[in-house]
């Protein structure tokens, strides 16, 4: 290889050549090899994630709507719950798969329909606006029952604590340091500690209002603790004798002191109105017994007439002397006064007896005037408030609706929500506020005949319309029927044709009569059909499918339908309009 060729070859190989002249000879130095630049890294593509199963995604989406509906239903927001439940079904019906073609969707769909149907049945049974709220037992019954047995004798420790307390704490009602009062202090801070603690906690919400009212009335403020024994400050408490509310008024005594009671309202449960009535009554009792509060309290329990007769028979004017004889006063009244006084001792200075209640916020709210009856669940939804809170602010309402046929009613709502509620009220028609059923009286009808025809109690029909049981009704008169065929759960105001797809999808007409729905239907005369009840059907879903009412279904099937119950396999007669092109 000649020199030139060699150099070219070396250059091509990247070899550095150093030539040193020395005579005619050539020397080469060890060549240095420069490494070629590394090629750019080859990007390794991560394996693509497996494609999501569209059926799984669809079911998850449907389930989320259902869970949202359950949450709203728990808050009493039935209108929004209904929308969520409908969407849980509709998202399946709108999918390319439909609700029945794919096995997993079909299983989910059937379960969904079953659960929603159960909620509908519950709503129909107790959510029609006329079901009366459930009362709680009044604590006075249980406390007086305990007094049947020997109450525990006060320990030396309790005697010392009470004596010290009374010497330092002022009371505006005389508290005698006797064994009977001490015995109840022992019971309340011992075996009944939890009951008294809960009552003190609950009462902290109402005590400022009660004490303000009693100050205005010039009454001893210690009387504010009477509800601790009577009801544990529960506004919906009801005794076995039918006394009602925080102050446990009997019906007649409540009416006598201005507390309204009718089908819709029982103001004995209104904490403010009942407190005003209690102030009047206690003041009257004090006057009857010359300011002796022990006798006045005995009268609050047993009635003033009974106490006056006992005083006359026993020729005694002191409660403690009267109570020594079981022949003069009943046991309940003899035990009631020391029980109330013991409650006053503890409530006035709870820390002395080991109670540390954390006070609740005092009762506060806004009032919004409504001119037409409204369902309380709608109030809850429009104010963004749980239904329980709306009920607790309006405990005088016996049912889930404000009264009908009243010029106006003030609904109490949480502070800060009044304006939002008024805005929604202004956007709707009066007819859409409550799902009531009305009946127009026909010639010759009476309350009795109407009640029989519509299967409601005559007394309920009369009271719901502010009538006496024997009242006459005139042709053309509008009556409210104390039962609603639809509910907010089943038919929202904004969408008065609810869940038609749901009803259609779960109700298949039996072979005896199959209906179709052409694109341009023209109604014809009603036709008698036979429908076989399927699993998951309700009277409401069937009624919606045939564009009729639950009451109509019942009237056509008196031998089959009992109440609101139907069973799979039952055959129902339906008079429906067939459609034709």
pLDDT for the residue numbered 295: 97
Mean of all residue pLDDT scores within the chain:
80
Highest mean pLDDT out of 20-24, 91-95, 335-339? 335-339
Q: Is the pLDDT of residue 13 over 50?
A: no
The CA-based angle 157-158-162, given to 5 degrees, is: 120
Q: What are phi and psi of 105, to 5 degrees?
A: -65, -40
Cβ-count burial 66-85 (b if 16+ within 10 Å, e if not):
bebbbebbebbbbbbbbbbb
- Which residue numbers are catalytic? 230
**What is the mean predicted confidence (pLDDT) over 8-18?**
41
pLDDT for the residue numbered 291: 95
Domain boundaries, the chain: 1-35, 54-126, 136-353, 366-426, 437-481, 507-580
Q: Is the pLDDT of residue 533 over 70?
A: yes
Which segment of 47-51, 208-212, 474-478, 508-512 scores lowest on mean pLDDT?
Answer: 508-512
| Greater pLDDT, 231 or 149 | 231
Q: Is the pLDDT of residue 188 over 60?
A: yes
pLDDT for the residue numbered 195: 93
Contact 412, 365 (CB under 8 A): yes
Q: Is the pLDDT of residue 538 over 80?
A: no
pLDDT for the residue numbered 485: 37
Contact 331, 147 (CB under 8 A): yes
Cα–Cα distance between 518 and 410 in angstroms, integer?
A: 49
Do 437-481 and 507-580 show the same overall fold?
A: yes
The proportion of the chain whose per-residue pLDDT surpasses 70, expressed as a percent, equals 77
pLDDT for the residue numbered 428: 85
**What is the mean predicted confidence (pLDDT) over 117-131?**
54
- The closest alpha carbon to 526, from 550, 506, 552, 502, belongs to 552
> Which region holds residue 353: left if phi is over 0, alpha if psi is between -120 and 50, else beta?
alpha
Query: Is 1.10.530.10 the CATH classification of the domain at 136-353?
Result: yes
Which segment of 37-46, 419-428, 467-476, 526-535 scores lowest on mean pLDDT?
Answer: 37-46
Cα–Cα distance between 116 and 500 in angstroms, integer?
A: 14
Sign of the CA dihedral running 486, 490, 496, 497: negative
- Tokens 């990247």 belong to residue: 14
CA distances from 281 to 238, 262, 288, 383, 433 (A): 19, 21, 11, 36, 38
Cα–Cα distance between 113 and 66 in angstroms, integer?
A: 10
Q: What is the pLDDT confidence band of residue 183, given thresholds at 50, 70 and 90? A: very high
Taking only the tens place, the pLDDT of each residue in 405-464 is 888 999 999 999 999 999 999 988 876 676 567 788 999 999 999 988 888 888 888 888
Contact 572, 556 (CB under 8 A): yes
Query: Is 3.10.350.10 the CATH classification of the domain at 507-580?
Result: yes
Q: Is the pLDDT of residue 577 over 90?
A: no
Which segment of 1-15, 62-76, 192-206, 345-359 scores lowest on mean pLDDT?
Answer: 1-15
The proportion of the chain whose per-residue pLDDT surpasses 90, expressed as a percent, equals 42
Taking only the tens place, the pLDDT of each residue in 265-319 is 999 999 999 999 999 999 999 999 999 999 999 999 999 999 999 999 999 999 9
pLDDT for the residue numbered 499: 35
Cα–Cα distance between 481 and 130 in angstroms, integer?
A: 9
| Greater pLDDT, 40 or 558 | 558
Taking only the tens place, the pLDDT of each residue in 320-379 is 999 998 899 999 999 999 999 999 999 999 999 999 888 888 989 999 999 988 888 889
Q: What is the pLDDT confidence band of residue 37, given thresholds at 50, 70 and 90? A: low
pLDDT for the residue numbered 558: 80
Cα pseudo-dihedral 187, 193, 196, 202, rounded to 10:
180
Q: What is the pLDDT confidence band of residue 46, given thresholds at 50, 70 and 90? A: low
Cα–Cα distance between 307 and 328 in angstroms, integer?
A: 8
The number of beta carbons lying within 10 Å of the beta carbon of residue 199 is 26
The CA-based angle 229-194-147, given to 5 degrees, is: 45
- Tokens 């046991």 belong to residue: 331
For residue 152, give both structure tokens: 């525990």
Q: What's the distance, Cα to Cα, between the start and end of the chain in Å?
A: 104
pLDDT for the residue numbered 501: 34
**What is the mean predicted confidence (pLDDT) over 502-531?**
40
Which segment of 95-109, 248-262, 386-400 scores lowest on mean pLDDT?
Answer: 95-109
| Greater pLDDT, 286 or 154 | 286
CATH of 437-481, one of 3.40.50.2000, 3.40.50.920, 3.30.420.40, 3.10.350.10: 3.10.350.10
For residue 557, give both structure tokens: 């099937």
pLDDT for the residue numbered 502: 33
Q: What is the pLDDT confidence band of residue 150, given thresholds at 50, 70 and 90? A: low
Cα–Cα distance between 515 and 448 in angstroms, integer?
A: 38
pTM above 0.85, yes or no: no
């Amino acid at each position: 290889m000649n020199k030139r060729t060699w150099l070219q070859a070396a250059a091509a190989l990247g070899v550095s050549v150093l030539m040193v002249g020395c005579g005619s000879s050539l020397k080469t130095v060890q060549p240095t090899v420069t490494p070629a630049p590394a090629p750019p890294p080859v990007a390794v593509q991560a394996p693509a994630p497996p494609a999501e199963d569209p059926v799984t995604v669809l079911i998850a989406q449907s389930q989320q709507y259902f869970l949202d509906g359950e949450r709203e239903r728990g808050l009493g927001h039935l209108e929004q719950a209904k929308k969520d439940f409908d969407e849980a079904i509709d998202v399946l019906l709108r999918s390319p798969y439909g609700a029945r073609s794919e096995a997993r969707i079909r299983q989910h769909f059937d379960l969904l329909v079953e659960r929603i149907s159960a909620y509908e049945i519950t709503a129909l049974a107790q959510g029609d606006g006329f079901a009366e709220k459930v009362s709680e037992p009044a604590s006075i019954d249980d406390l007086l029952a305990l007094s049947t047995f020997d109450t525990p004798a006060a320990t030396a420790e309790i005697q010392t604590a009470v004596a010290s307390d009374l010497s330092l704490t002022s009371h505006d009602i005389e508290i005698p340091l006797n064994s009977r009062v001490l015995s109840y202090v022992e019971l309340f801070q011992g075996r009944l500690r939890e009951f008294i603690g809960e009552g003190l906690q609950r009462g902290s919400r109402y005590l400022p209002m009660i004490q303000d009212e009693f100050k205005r009335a010039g009454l001893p403020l210690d009387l504010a603790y009477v509800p601790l024994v009577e009801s544990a400050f529960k506004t919906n408490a009801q005794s076995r004798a039918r006394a009602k509310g925080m102050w446990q008024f009997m019906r007649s005594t409540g009416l006598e002191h201005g507390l309204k009671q009718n089908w819709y309202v029982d103001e004995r449960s209104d904490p403010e109105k009942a407190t005003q009535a209690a102030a009047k009554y206690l003041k009257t009792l004090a006057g009857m017994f010359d300011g002796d509060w022990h006798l006045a309290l005995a009268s609050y329990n047993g009635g003033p007439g009974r106490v006056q007769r006992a005083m006359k028979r026993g020729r005694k004017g002191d409660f403690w002397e009267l109570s020594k004889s079981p022949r003069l006063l009943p046991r309940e009244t003899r035990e009631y006064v020391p029980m109330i006084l013991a409650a006053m001792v503890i409530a006035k200075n709870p820390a002395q007896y080991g109670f540390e209640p954390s006070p609740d916020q005092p009762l506060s709210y806004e009032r919004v005037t409504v001119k037409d009856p409204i369902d309380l669940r709608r109030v809850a939804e429009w104010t963004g408030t749980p239904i329980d809170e709306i009920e607790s602010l309006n405990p005088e309402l016996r049912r889930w609706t404000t009264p009908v046929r009243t010029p106006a009613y003030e609904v109490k709502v949480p502070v800060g929500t009044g304006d939002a509620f008024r805005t929604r009220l202004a956007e709707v028609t009066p007819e859409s506020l409550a799902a009531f059923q009305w009946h127009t009286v026909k010639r010759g009808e009476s309350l009795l005949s109407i009640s029989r025809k519509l299967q409601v109690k005559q007394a309920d029909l009369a009271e719901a319309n502010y009538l006496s049981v024997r009242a006459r009704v005139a042709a053309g008169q509008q009556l409210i029927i104390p039962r609603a065929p639809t509910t907010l759960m089943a038919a929202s105001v904004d969408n008065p044709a609810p869940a038609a797809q749901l009803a259609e999808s779960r109700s298949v007409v039996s072979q005896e009569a199959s209906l179709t729905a052409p694109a341009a239907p023209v109604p014809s005369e009603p036709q008698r059909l036979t429908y076989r009840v399927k699993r998951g059907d309700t009277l409401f879903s069937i009624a919606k499918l045939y564009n009729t009412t639950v009451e109509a279904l019942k009237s056509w099937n008196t031998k089959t339908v009992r109440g609101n119950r139907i069973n799979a396999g039952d055959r129902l007669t339906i008079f429906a309009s067939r459609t034709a092109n």
